[in-house]
């Protein structure tokens, strides 16, 4: 008798270690690793993954928001935690929990300094973010003079890092652009080396930067997606191991005939005798409606079964015609044996989006 299990996200810490070691093998032994655990560690579990990354050698962690950093601190994480998008409203927590903000505007720097004054805190660690072409967040190269002037007036700040972010490090057609970003970053770095009378960590590379532009490793790298098992091309995907496997079971099997429809709006119509399996997993669990109507497929007993009809809130239906299966059988939506690339078979989106969307309703389970 098969055991009925609920929909769950299995987390494989061995795969995380293997990906971590692989990335390390691209780097010089002294280069530090910042493990990026924003967005629930890319949809898994930020405390579990963050702690494990520290255990296996990550010197730093990074999150997007202050609240994400607070969660790690409350769970006992002691290493420096960089916050990519700190909000002025949460500065008290930033200071109380000694999180390191990314500073990318004068406005934020002012807000931070006045909060530090109120709390009588000195030499507070920050990382300065420099815009080198992503045009998202960061000081321009032309602003660096004014940044240094601002810092000289604010002895409460200690610049422990200077960083920038690559726009297309995974794209072979944009190598020239990336090289320009690298040289602009070098310019910013030398500027601060000249104007600050103490040392700091420089960092530029995200996952695909590590894999494709090792010459830009500087003092530290920021690894996200590759730690979770995904790269930017089939070769990279093969070297990495999926940390998260989304699994469920067949809730019900049914045979339908030519002309019968499946699901809301009757989007699927059988062309002949068809076997349909219903899975207890829907868009409220993070499987977007864009994956309905054959755009994605799951793995059942070694065979691929396409989603038919519209994805519902709590369920979806797949075509299992010709697949040897029964109610209660395990289904791998994506994971170790069936990657997100296999699931999202028309590559409608990127692995980042698929894995970070798995909702908190889904039980996380360490295997």
CA gap 41, 93 in Å, rounded: 20
Does residue 222 belong to the site contacting ligand PLP (CB under 6 A)?
A: yes
The span of 45-53, 153-161, 220-228, 335-343 binding ligand PLP (CB under 6 A) equals 220-228
Cα 330–chain centre separation: 26
CA gap 100, 61 in Å, rounded: 10
Q: For residues 223 and 250, which CB has a smaller minimum distance to ligand PLP in the complex?
A: 223
Q: From the list 207, 212, 245, 248, which residue makes contact with ligand PLP (rule: CB under 6 A)?
A: 207
CA gap 245, 343 in Å, rounded: 11
Catalytic residue among 17, 38, 241, 336: 38
Binding mask 132-171 for ligand PLP (x = CB under 6 A): ---------------------------------x------
Binding mask 165-194 for ligand PLP (x = CB under 6 A): x-----------------------------
The 8 Å CB, 24+ separation contacts for 307-311 are 308/262, 308/263, 308/268, 308/276, 309/261, 309/262, 309/263, 309/264, 309/265, 309/266, 309/267, 309/268, 310/263, 310/264, 310/265, 310/267, 311/282, 311/283, 311/287
Q: For residues 113 and 130, which CB has a smaller minimum distance to ligand PLP in the complex?
A: 130
Q: Which of residues 71-100 bind ligand PLP (CB under 6 A)?
A: 84
Q: For residues 104 and 334, which CB has a smaller minimum distance to ligand PLP in the complex?
A: 104
Query: Residues in the chain, how many?
Result: 367
Catalytic residue among 149, 172, 193, 264: 264
Does residue 305 belong to the site contacting ligand PLP (CB under 6 A)?
A: no
Residue 198 a catalytic site member: no
Strands (E), the chain: 8-11, 32-36, 60-63, 81-83, 100-103, 124-129, 157-163, 201-203, 220-223, 244-249, 252-256, 261-262, 268-269, 274-279, 297-300, 303-308, 316-319, 330-334, 363-366
Smallest distance, Å, CB 8 to ligand PLP? 24
The span of 103-111, 182-190, 219-227, 306-314 binding ligand PLP (CB under 6 A) equals 219-227
Q: From the list 131, 160, 202, 206, which residue makes contact with ligand PLP (rule: CB under 6 A)?
A: 206
Does residue 15 belong to the site contacting ligand PLP (CB under 6 A)?
A: no
Q: Look up residue 161 and give its two tokens.
A: 């890092």
Total residues contacting ligand PLP by CB under 6 A comes to 11
Q: Give the position of tokens 């996380």.
A: 364
Residue 38 a catalytic site member: yes
Residues that bind ligand PLP (CB under 6 A): 36, 38, 84, 165, 206-207, 222-226
Cite the active site residues: 38, 264
């Amino acid at each position: 008798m098969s055991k009925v299990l609920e929909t769950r996200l299995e987390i494989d810490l061995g795969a995380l270690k293997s990906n971590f070691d692989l990335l390390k093998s691209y780097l010089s032994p002294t280069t530090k690793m910042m493990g990026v655990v924003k967005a629930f560690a890319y949809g898994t579990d930020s405390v579990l993954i963050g702690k494990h990354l520290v255990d296996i050698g990550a010197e730093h962690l990074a999150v997007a928001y202050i609240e994400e950093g607070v969660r790690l601190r409350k769970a006992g994480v002691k290493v420096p935690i960089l916050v990519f998008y700190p909000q002025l409203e949460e500065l008290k927590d930033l200071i109380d929990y000694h999180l390191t903000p990314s500073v990318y505007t004068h406005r934020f720097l002012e807000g931070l300094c006045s909060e530090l004054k109120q709390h009588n805190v000195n030499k507070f660690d920050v990382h300065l973010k420099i815009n080198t072409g992503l045009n998202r967040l960061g000081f321009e190269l032309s602003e660096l003079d004014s940044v240094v002037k601002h810092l000289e007036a604010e002895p409460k700040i200690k610049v422990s890092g200077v960083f920038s972010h690559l726009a297309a490090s995974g794209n072979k057609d944009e190598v020239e652009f990336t090289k320009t970003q690298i040289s602009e970053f070098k310019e910013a770095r030398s500027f601060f080396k000249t104007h600050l009378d103490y040392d700091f960590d420089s960092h530029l590379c995200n996952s695909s930067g590590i894999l494709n532009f090792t010459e830009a490793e500087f003092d530290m790298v920021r690894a996200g997606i590759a730690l979770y098992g995904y790269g930017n091309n089939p070769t990279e995907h093969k070297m990495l191991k999926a940390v998260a496997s989304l699994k469920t079971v067949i809730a019900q099997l049914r045979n339908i005939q030519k002309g019968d429809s499946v699901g809301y709006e009757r989007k699927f119509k059988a062309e002949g005798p068809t076997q349909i399996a219903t899975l207890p997993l829907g868009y409220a669990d993070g499987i977007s409606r864009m994956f309905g109507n054959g755009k994605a497929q799951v793995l059942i007993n070694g065979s691929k079964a396409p989603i038919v009809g519209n994805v519902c809130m709590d369920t979806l239906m797949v075509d299992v015609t010709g697949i040897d299966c029964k109610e209660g059988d395990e289904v791998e939506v994506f994971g170790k044996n069936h990657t997100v690339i296999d699931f999202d078979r028309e590559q409608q989106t990127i692995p980042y989006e698929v894995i970070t969307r798995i909702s908190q309703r889904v039980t996380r389970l360490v295997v």
